[in-house]
Amino acid sequence: MSSTPARTVSNPVIPGFHPDPSICRVGEDYYLACSSFEYFPGVPLFHSRDLVHWTLIGNALDRPEQLRLPPGAASSGGLYAPTLRHHDGRFWLIVTNVSADGNMLFTATDPAGPWSDPIRLPGVHGIDPDLAWDDDGICRCTVAGVSQYRIDPLTGETIGEPRRLWSGAPGAKAPEAPHLYRIGDYWYLLIAEGGTERCHGVSIARGRTPDGPFEPCPDNPVLTHRGTDHPVQNTGHGDLVQGPDGSWWMVFLGVRPQGGTPGWHVLGRETFLAPVTWVDDWPVVGEVALDMAAPPWPLHEPAVEPVRDDFDSGELAHGWISPRSRSTAHCTTGERPGWLTLRARGDSLDDPEVTFLGRRQQHLSCRARVLADPSDGRGGLAVRLDERHHYEIETEPGQVRVIARVGTLRTVVASHPTPAGPVVLRVDMTATRKVTDPRQGPDTVTLGVEDADGGYTELAALDGRYLSTEVAGGFTGRVIGTYATLGTVRFDWFDYEPVED
């Protein structure tokens, strides 16, 4: 007699800088939105049929009139913690722009877009806004704190005064990320607390009405890894969803620290999945495993975005992002067919207005390569966390150089002559798998050039801890991409691939 081995799937289900997941289901389709902070376009949107394989279908805020991120918008500012819901035949997305317009609400009939212009909510104060409708059609917006407003979602008008609700354990830090649900006989209020670092967690309370009063779960927090050596840390900011078969699941953020003490995470906060069961009308979150049992339904292979981009399309792929803004005057594939053309604004990656086009780093070990033509300018390939923390390999006619910016220090680490014409620039991230020193960093970032014969010249190997959240602070993860800091630089292709250890 033979048995079929149990299927497993890998966590995180959406790797890389994809924090604050919010999820909804329509029929057999799941849709998920994440925070995007200072990057444009904003709020990436994913689709799945199995909760495991996710396809990026667009960005909800992809027009300047939807998303204002002024030059002065700080890194880790911008868009915080969206909530995505489906109600009355329409998708609703509410999010906070902490750098400009406060809380805004958008609608769409298709989550792939287009999404509406913003409906502003000037009377709603607080980040992490949530939307829920009761049986009478009254819409409630609950925000970090935790306060609840009644609103007209079509106009953004608030109705009456806000109500204070349950705010988690007494004395717990930062009650935030509220989500309100009607499940069975109860209304449930799910929140995050403890801050988004190592003490992060998810707690829940329930009441008979959406206004409360709310009774806390006796087993709170229902999800946390605080005080453990689990490989996934900072777990929190959860959202619940029910499958078509009646099963329940939670998506939430977490990080994968690497290296020695205290551990450094470089990919940002990622989206994880865990099963949920119900005991005495309370949710019980199952094990958070890097390899977990597959859901009890067929797995669907996703439409994977190409690892290599030859810039043959007139439109950039959904995964490309830029700090604060992106105009065709400075970034286009339409000028020279088959090439990406970047025109410089800022004169270095230290400048908030620099012309930069990148994609999220999604693997602990990976390689990125680009063919750059600097004949009319200066630019290159960079690994960016923010304006004060980045490594890059930069080219101009006749030479390349490696530059490191860490806090207040900026230095040229190495330089190398190159022949005239296009040059292949390369960056490798190699994760630390065996810690031999408690001070050992999370990975090594190696920068170099390839020649016409495929040979490789390494120019620098830099400690990756300085491009981590634990060093730089903030809420984002690494983004790898192309940039221009003088004149015009063109790129024939960009290649990103995971590297097996």
Contact in structure between 377 and 354 (CB atoms under 8 Å): no
* Partners of residue 423 on adjacent β-strands: 372
What's CA 150's distance to the chain center, in Å? 29
DSSP single-letter state for residue 180: E
**Is there a cis peptide before residue 213, judged by omega within 30 degrees of 0?**
yes
Q: Whole-angstrom Cα distance, residue 279 to residue 221?
A: 15
Residues 82 and 97: beta-carbon distance below 8 Å: no
* DSSP state at residue 145: T
**Would you say 155 and 119 are in contact if contact means Cβ atoms under 8 Å apart?**
yes
Q: Number of helices (H) and strands (E), helices first, in the chain?
A: 1, 37
First to last CA, the chain: 36
Q: Rounded distance, CA 117 to CA 95, Å?
A: 13
Q: How many residues does the chain have?
A: 501
Q: d(Cα 221, Cα 232) in Å, to the nearest integer?
A: 16
Q: What are the CB-based long-range contacts (under 8 Å, 24+) for 27-31?
A: 27/244, 28/244, 30/241, 31/84, 31/86, 31/91, 31/111
- The three-state DSSP-derived secondary structure of 445-477 is EEEEEECCCCCEEEEEEEEHHHHCHHHHCCCCC
Q: How is residue 349 written in tokens?
A: 């990656």
- Distance, in Å, from the CA atom of 116 to the CA atom of 48, rounded to the nearest integer, reads 23
What tokens does 60 get?
A: 């909800």
CB 4 within 8 A of CB 15: no
Residues 6 or more apart whose CB falls under 8 angstroms from that of 268 comprise 16, 17, 18, 19, 255, 360, 469, 475, 476, 477, 478
Catalytic positions are 20, 176
